[in-house]
Every structure is written in structure tokens, then in C-alpha cells.
């Protein structure tokens, strides 16, 4: 155990050191020393010593007595005063602080040790006494019984429980006459009982009575007495218990005992009805008569009871049903609307209580049956809707699939079986990836991530793979699946086969390309040649008129410039109609021309990086990729304020990737998604080619647009083999 810690407050240094040495030799610890009263207060708060040796007279404005008074306001620390020739007035002031001792200077070691040891022991004993008092006070204050002390008929003490029973605050009860709170009908008996107890020391067995509480209610009290001394005066320790609820409960139990047979019949009725409602799957005209019979049997007078249930305008009634003046009814609800009623009638008059001839419990039973029927009808409607929904899902030509956020299949309808060739038992419980081409696995992860964040994906066009390996173009709509707490736990996917639509679109696109190519060639070959001829003729005319008619020659030169501009415009229109012509040049050449045009028109740095062995033999795909690059470049300059744009082409045996990256300002927020008609057109062109488009914000600024598509027919064939 750690030795007691002592704070020494002495303004004479030599005396302080002398006392410190003695304290240490006694085996105590010196917590600190102070020379001023203000310092003593601060050190007492900071160090919390076990005892303070305090010089009465100190330097500064605060004396030792003042310091002791301040310390005792906040802390329970014993103080021993050190004094030398203190006057009588100072000693009297010191007594007011209840010191634990005095040591006269010069300090004697035996006297000092005796005072310190006595003070510490006294403090220990006082703490034990205070703890004991606190425990007993806590026990009394928290006792479940009311406790009072009464002397000469006057209340001297009440605990919180007794105050709560009476309803009066303690300061009102203490000092008042106890008899004033007794009920007038019990006052004489209780006073006689109290007098007999005081004289003879015995009590009657029946010691319960009534009191008038502060709220005006009458409370039943059970009382027990014990003799005590209170402030030296013979008194009675009174223990009170509020038995009002027990009295009421006793009366209630008696009444319930009389009606127990009725309640048993009601419970039997509810049990049978619950079983009928949970097991019944047939029409209502088979179920309702059973419910009505149970209801009749549960009544107090079943032999003169008739009943009826009306649901959606149809009434089901017992054979003896007659409407009479003695009626009880309840509602059957559908949501917040009433969909029907339950009616009970007595065929003969019976005695009435507060609710009429029927018992309150019978009214409760009728209402509960209404609730049970409401739940049954709601559950039945929900089951019918689910069955209808299940039939719709199963009969749909579209593939409807439910899966977890990890891609595990939960449901697989017949449309999915027809579209992909896998049976439901083969897919349910397994990953969805057998129908996903290897090049599109990342796409599935991205889609499920978006769904997990609450996004709905409509008409997402991509490719899927059938069991036989053939590729099918599909349009997907993804929606989140929520649990009962509103948490997203999975995704539902409705898949439409758009392969024929894609073929038709491709045919239309190819026809459009042919028409544009023919128009471009016609402009280039026919109109271009005519304009070129006109340019030569204008040049000859200009030379012929140069000497004879200088003004005419100058006008011919202006005409020649206009014709040359028309030739250049014709060439540009022709090039715009046929940006990629695989019979004459390649996609690489077209992209390089696009880069050169961007440098000249926009004044930016634009470069291309194309793999050496890059090859594409599909004019439709080449043209769509060119337009994607053109749109991405235009967005980078117009919206991103880019100063440099790079166009990159990469290819392997399975996939072809077009990348357009810039150094512009990029997206403004991390969670912002690019939108706009240009972006939607690029996404459409990518999906049209069986690929997908990604837009990424670069860490250092700018955007990256990535379009990934299968590598022509060869890539499609490899997907099929997988």
C-alpha cells in the first residue's frame, strides 16, 4: 500500500525543510511544499494529498485559515495547523474550519507524528462512517417499501417510496400529522390499532387500510411497525406497501374466474379459425360457414345467436340468420378501406351491460376475427398476384433473370431457357458467366456495381453467348432487388434478343454507306471533273485576255479562284461522306487525316499511335470507329479545352480498342457521369458493333474514352469456340 502523501504549507524555508525531513523519517511521502495560501489551494486541487500541514500565518493576502476554508469547499482533506504565538481570535477562526490538530512551533517530532497519525486514523474512521451512512441511506432511499418514522403522531422522516405512495413531496409530509392522510372510514380503526401497539407492543393481523393520496385517488396500504429511537425520542419505524393493484387484481381475478368458461370457448374459436384460414385454399363459400359456426359456438348464448359475413357485396349467413335489435358488428378491411362486415344478432333479448347484451370480450373476439379475415384476404390477394406475376414471367419471350450482386443466378425463366439453351436447374445457384463472353466479364462487374449503388440501367445493348457458342445481340434492363429493410441484395435483368434488329440496322447502315459512297464518288468524279474543266477554261480565258483586256483577265482570275474553292469544297464534302474507304485507304489513314485536320483547324497538338499489324476489313466497323474518334476529339476541344489529344488503336485476336485521351479539364466531380447527345451517340455506335464504351477521368486532368469491340469476324469466331 502506498504511504500517505502530505502537503506542507510553511512560509519559512528552514522550518519547511525541517518539517519535510521529519515527515519523511516517519515513513510518509511529501506531496509538495507551498509558502503561500494561493499556492496551497492550487497544489491541493492538483495533487489531492491525504493530509495538509498548514501554517496559520502565511505571506500574501490569503492566510492558512483562508486557504483551508477554500480547500474544504471542494475536497475532503484533513488539515493540521502549525502555529506559534497565535492570538485568541486567530485560534477561534481556525476552529471554524474543523482542524484535525494543532502543532505548536517549534515543532516537536513526537507531537508532529502523534497529530499526523491521529488525523489520518480519524479521517479513515470518518470516511468509513460516511460510507456506512451513505450505504444505509441508499438502501432506505431505494427500498421498494415505503418507510416512515413517526413520533407522537407526527411524521419525522419519509423515504422517496413513501412519498410516492402518498403523492406528496417529502417536505409536505415531514412535520405533519400522520392521521390526516387516513381515509375517514378507516381512521378510527387505524388509530386504535396504533394505540394498542404503543401500549402493548402487539398488532392486529389485519393491518391494511386506505389513504387519501395527493391526486384524490384512494390507495390501499399494508403497514408494519417497529420501535426505534429517533433523535433520542421513542418512535415507530413504519413500513408501507401499496397494495392497491393487488386489491384490484384480486377483484379482477374473481371476475375472470366466473368468465373463464366463456374465454376458453373464445380461445377455441380463434384457434379453429386460425387453422381454417391457414389451411384453406378453396372458394370462400366453403370457408366462411365454418368461421360463422365457430363464432356462434364462442358466444355466451350460442343457442340464440345468428351471424353473417358480408364481403364485397356478397353475404354469407347461418341458417337461422335474422336481423334483430340486439346486434354486434365489426369491419373487414382491405388496406385502409372497408371491404366487408361481420354481424352478430341475438334472437331473444338478454340483460345488457355497458356494451349492450354482448360481453366486451365478445366484441373483441368479433374485431379480432375481422382482423384475421382481413389478413387472410390480403394474403390470398398477394398470392394470386404473385401467381399471376410468376405466370407472366414464365410465359414471357424475354429472358428474365434474378441474380445476386456477386453474379449468382437466383431465378431463370423459360424465356432464358429458350434464349440461351441452359435449363433453370443448370443455372440456378451457379455464376451467370457461362452466358457472358470472356471479353465482357468486366462489363458484368461494372453493371452489378452500378446496380448495387441504386442505379437503374435501361436498354443496355451488348452481346451474350448461347450454349452452342453462338453470339446473340441483346438489350438489357437491370433493376435492383431490395430486401424487407430496403437494402439492395441483388439485380433483376430483362433481356431482349435484338440480333435480327442488329442485322437490319447493319443492313440499313451498309446501304447508307453505299449511298453516301456513291454520292461522294459522284461529287468527286462528276462535279469535280466539271469544276476542274471550268477552272482550266477560266485559266485559258484569263491568259487570253491578259494583254488585250486586263480588266477582263482580272475578273477571269477571280472566277478561277471561286471555281478552285468549289473544287476544294467538293473534295471535302466527298471526303466527309466517305471518311473511310477500305478499297482506297485504311482507318489508320483516315484517323491520321483527322489528326492533321484538328491541328490545322483547332490549333491543338494531335497525334496518332497505331499498332504496326493493325487490320480491319469491315467498312461499317471502320466507319463507326472513325465517327467515335471524331466525336471524342470534338468533345475534348469544345468541352474540355484540351491542348493535346492522342488517338490510339490497339488490336489482338479477340478485341480491338480505340482510345482517345486528352489533357483537358476532365469531369468536375468524381461521382459525375458524362452525358449529352454526343456521348449517347458514341455509346450507341459501340453497342452497334457489339462492344462497349468507357469514359474515365484522368488523375492528372483530362479524359480517356475507350471503345472496345470484337476483332471482326475472326474475333466473333473465337468467342463462339470458347
Q: What is the DSSP string of 6-50?
A: EEEE-S-HHHHHHHHHHHHHTT-EEEEEESBHHHHHHHHHHH--S
- Closest alpha carbon to 6 in 14, 25, 60: 25
Q: Is residue 722's pLDDT more than 50?
A: no
The per-residue b/e assignment along 302-329, b for 16 or more CB within 10 angstroms, e otherwise, is eebbbbbbbbeeeebbbeeeeeeebebe
Cβ atoms of 571 and 528 within 8 Å: the answer is: yes
CA distances in angstroms from 14 to 106, 112, 395, 571, listed in the order given: 11, 16, 106, 113
Instruction: Note the pLDDT tens digit of each residue in 207-259.
Output: 788 888 888 888 888 888 888 888 888 888 888 888 888 877 777 776 676 66
Q: Is residue 672's pLDDT more than 70?
A: no
Instruction: Note the pLDDT tens digit of each residue in 400-428.
Output: 899 999 999 999 988 889 889 999 899 99
Lowest mean pLDDT among 338-342, 362-366, 379-383, 569-573: 569-573
Lowest mean pLDDT among 132-146, 510-524, 580-594, 595-609: 510-524
Task: Report helix angle 284-298 to 260-279, nearest 10.
Answer: 170
The mean pLDDT of 526-531, rounded to a whole number, is 68
The mean pLDDT of 383-387, rounded to a whole number, is 73
Most confident of the following: 123-132, 561-570, 595-604, 668-677: 595-604
| Euclidean distance between CA atoms 297 and 274, whole angstroms | 15
Most confident of the following: 25-39, 92-106, 133-147, 233-247: 25-39
The mean pLDDT of 546-567, rounded to a whole number, is 81
- Closest alpha carbon to 628 in 602, 590, 655: 590
Contacting residues for 34 by C-beta, under 8 A, at least 6 apart: 7, 8, 9, 40, 43
- Closest alpha carbon to 679 in 669, 666, 660, 694: 694
Q: Is residue 717's pLDDT more than 70?
A: no
| 516 grid coordinates | 453516301
The mean pLDDT of 650-676, rounded to a whole number, is 74
Q: What is the pLDDT of residue 227?
A: 84
| Beta pairing class for 29-34 and 337-346 | unpaired
Q: What is the pLDDT of residue 517?
A: 59
Is the model more confident about 156 or about 194?
156
Percentage of residues in the chain having pLDDT higher than 70? 86
Q: What is the CATH number of domain 396-497?
A: 3.30.450.20
Lowest mean pLDDT among 233-242, 498-507, 597-606: 498-507
Q: What is the pLDDT of residue 720?
A: 35
Phi, then psi, of 703 in degrees rounded to 5: -130, 155
Cβ atoms of 369 and 291 within 8 Å: the answer is: yes
| Euclidean distance between CA atoms 708 and 695, whole angstroms | 12
Instruction: Note the pLDDT tens digit of each residue in 2-44.
Output: 889 999 998 888 888 988 899 899 889 998 999 898 888 999 9
Instruction: Note the pLDDT tens digit of each residue in 449-489.
Output: 999 998 888 888 888 899 998 888 888 899 999 988 889 99
Sign of CA dihedral 679, 682, 684, 687: negative
SS (H, E, C) 480-532: EEECCCCCEEEEEEEEEECHHHHHHHHHHHHHHHHHHHHHHHHHHHHHHHHHH
| Euclidean distance between CA atoms 216 and 472, whole angstroms | 85
Question: What's the CATH superfamily of 259-382?
Answer: GAF domain (3.30.450.40)
Q: What is the pLDDT of residue 524?
A: 56
Q: State the architecture of 5-138 in CATH terms.
A: 3-Layer(aba) Sandwich (3.40)
| Beta pairing class for 655-662 and 605-610 | unpaired
Lowest mean pLDDT among 87-91, 121-125, 281-285, 507-511: 507-511
Q: What is the pLDDT of residue 307?
A: 93
Q: Is residue 719's pLDDT more than 70?
A: no
Lowest mean pLDDT among 342-346, 481-485, 696-700: 696-700
Contacting residues for 398 by C-beta, under 8 A, at least 6 apart: 415, 419, 494, 495, 496
Q: Is residue 716's pLDDT more than 50?
A: no
Q: Is residue 550's pLDDT more than 60?
A: yes
The mean pLDDT of 298-324, rounded to a whole number, is 90
pLDDT bracket for residue 306 (50, 70, 90): very high
Q: What is the pLDDT of residue 468?
A: 92
Helix, strand, or coil (residue 340)? strand
Domain boundaries, the chain: 5-138, 143-248, 259-382, 396-497, 585-722
Q: What is the pLDDT of residue 715?
A: 38
Lowest mean pLDDT among 13-27, 286-300, 550-564: 550-564
Percentage of residues in the chain having pLDDT higher than 90? 13
pLDDT bracket for residue 87 (50, 70, 90): low
Mean pLDDT (the chain) is 81
The CATH class that applies to domain 585-722 reads alpha beta
Count other C-beta atoms under 10 Å from residue 72's C-beta: 15
Cβ atoms of 522 and 547 within 8 Å: the answer is: no
CATH topology of domain 143-248: Beta-Lactamase (3.30.450)
Q: Do domains 5-138 and 259-382 have the same CATH topology?
A: no
| 197 grid coordinates | 401497539
Instruction: Note the pLDDT tens digit of each residue in 570-581.
Output: 766 766 665 655
Is the model more confident about 172 or about 581?
172
The mean pLDDT of 358-385, rounded to a whole number, is 83
Count other C-beta atoms under 10 Å from residue 561's C-beta: 11
Amino acid at each position: 500500500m502506498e504511504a500517505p502523501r502530505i502537503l506542507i504549507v510553511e512560509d519559512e524555508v528552514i522550518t519547511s525543510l525541517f518539517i519535510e525531513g521529519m515527515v519523511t523519517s516517519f515513513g510518509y511521502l511529501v506531496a509538495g511544499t507551498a509558502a503561500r495560501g494561493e499556492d496551497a489551494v492550487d497544489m491541493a486541487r492538483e495533487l489531492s494529498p491525504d493530509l495538509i500541514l498548514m501554517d496559520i500565518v502565511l505571506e500574501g493576502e490569503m492566510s492558512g485559515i483562508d486557504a483551508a476554508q477554500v480547500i474544504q469547499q471542494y475536497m475532503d482533506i484533513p488539515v493540521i495547523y502549525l502555529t506559534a504565538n497565535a492570538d485568541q481570535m486567530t485560534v477561534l477562526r481556525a476552529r471554524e474550519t474543523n482542524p484535525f490538530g494543532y502543532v505548536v512551533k517549534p515543532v516537536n517530532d513526537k507531537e508532529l507524528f502523534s497529530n499526523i497519525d491521529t488525523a489520518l486514523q480519524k479521517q479513515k474512521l470518518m470516511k468509513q462512517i460516511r460510507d456506512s451512512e451513505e450505504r444505509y441511506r441508499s438502501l432506505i432511499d431505494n427500498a421498494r417499501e415505503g418507510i416512515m418514522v413517526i413520533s407522537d403522531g407526527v411524521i419525522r422522516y419519509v423515504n422517496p417510496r413513501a412519498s410516492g405512495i402518498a403523492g406528496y413531496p417529502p417536505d409536505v409530509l415531514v412535520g405533519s400529522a400522520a392521521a390526516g392522510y387516513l381515509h375517514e372510514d378507516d381512521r378510527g380503526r387505524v388509530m386504535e390499532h396504533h394505540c394498542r401497539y404503543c401500549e402493548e407492543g402487539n398488532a392486529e393481523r389485519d393491518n391494511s387500510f386506505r389513504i387519501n393520496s395527493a391526486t384524490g385517488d384512494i390507495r390501499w396500504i399494508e403497514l408494519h411497525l417497529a420501535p426505534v429511537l429517533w433523535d433520542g425520542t421513542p418512535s415507530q419505524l413504519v413500513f408501507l406497501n401499496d397494495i392497491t393493484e393487488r386489491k384490484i387484481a384480486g377483484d379482477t381475478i374473481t371476475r375472470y374466474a366466473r368468465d373463464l368458461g366463456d374465454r376458453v370457448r373464445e380461445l377455441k374459436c380463434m384457434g379453429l379459425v386460425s387453422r381454417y384460414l391457414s389451411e384453406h385454399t378453396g372458394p370462400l363459400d366453403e370457408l366462411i360457414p365454418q368461421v360463422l359456426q365457430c363464432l356462434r359456438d364462442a358466444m355466451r348464448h350460442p343457442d340464440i345467436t345468428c351471424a353473417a359475413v358480408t364481403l364485397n357485396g356478397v353475404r354469407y349467413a347461418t341458417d337461422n340468420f335474422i336481423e334483430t335489435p340486439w346486434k354486434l358488428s365489426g369491419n373487414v378491411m382491405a388496406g385502409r378501406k372497408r371491404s366487408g362486415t361481420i354481424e352478430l344478432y341475438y334472437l331473444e333479448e338478454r340483460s345488457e351491460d355497458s356494451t349492450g347484451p354482448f360481453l366486451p370480450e365478445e366484441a373483441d373476439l368479433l374485431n379480432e376475427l375481422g382482423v384475421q379475415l382481413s389478413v387472410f384476404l390480403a394474403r390470398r390477394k398477394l398470392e394470386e398476384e404473385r401467381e399471376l406475376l410468376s405466370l407472366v414471367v414464365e410465359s414471357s419471350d424475354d429472358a428474365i433473370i434474378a441474380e445476386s450482386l456477386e453474379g449468382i443466378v437466383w431465378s431463370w425463366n423459360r424465356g432464358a431457357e429458350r434464349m440461351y439453351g441452359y435449363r433453370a436447374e443448370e443455372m440456378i445457384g451457379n455464376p451467370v458467366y457461362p452466358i457472358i463472353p470472356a471479353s465482357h466479364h468486366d462489363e458484368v462487374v461494372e453493371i452489378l456495381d452500378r446496380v448495387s449503388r441504386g442505379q437503374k440501367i435501361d436498354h443496355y445493348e451488348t452481346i451474350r453467348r448461347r450454349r452452342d457458342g453462338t453470339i446473340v445481340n441483346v438489350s438489357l434492363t437491370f433493376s435492383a432487388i431490395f430486401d424487407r429493410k430496403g437494402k439492395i441484395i441483388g439485380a433483376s435483368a430483362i433481356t431482349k434478343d435484338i440480333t435480327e434488329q442488329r442485322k437490319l440496322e447493319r443492313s440499313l447502315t451498309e446501304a447508307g454507306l453505299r449511298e453516301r459512297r456513291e454520292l461522294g464518288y459522284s461529287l468527286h468524279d462528276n462535279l469535280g471533273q466539271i469544276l476542274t474543266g471550268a477552272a482550266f477554261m477560266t485559266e485559258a480565258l484569263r491568259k487570253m485576255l491578259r494583254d488585250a483586256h486586263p480588266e477582263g483577265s482580272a475578273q477571269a482570275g477571280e472566277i478561277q479562284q471561286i471555281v478552285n474553292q468549289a473544287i476544294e469544297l467538293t473534295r471535302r464534302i466527298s471526303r466527309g461522306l466517305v471518311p473511310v474507304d477500305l478499297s482506297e485507304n485504311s482507318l489508320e489513314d483516315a484517323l491520321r487525316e483527322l489528326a492533321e485536320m484538328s491541328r490545322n483547324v483547332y490549333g491543338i497538338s494531335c497525334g496518332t499511335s497505331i499498332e504496326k499489324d493493325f487490320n480491319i476489313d469491315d467498312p461499317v466497323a471502320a466507319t463507326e470507329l472513325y465517327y467515335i474518334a471524331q466525336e471524342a476529339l470534338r468533345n475534348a476541344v469544345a468541352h474540355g479545352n484540351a491542348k493535346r489529344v492522342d488517338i490510339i488503336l490497339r488490336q489482338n485476336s479477340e478485341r480491338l480498342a480505340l482510345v482517345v485521351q486528352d489533357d483537358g479539364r476532365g469531369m468536375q466531380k468524381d461521382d459525375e457521369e458524362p452525358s449529352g447527345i454526343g456521348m449517347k451517340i458514341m455509346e450507341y455506335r459501340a453497342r452497334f458493333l457489339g462492344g462497349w464504351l468507357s469514359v474515365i477521368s484522368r488523375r492528372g486532368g483530362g479524359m480517356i474514352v475507350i471503345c472496345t469491340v470484337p476483332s471482326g469476324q475472326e474475333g466473333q469466331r473465337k468467342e463462339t469456340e470458347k
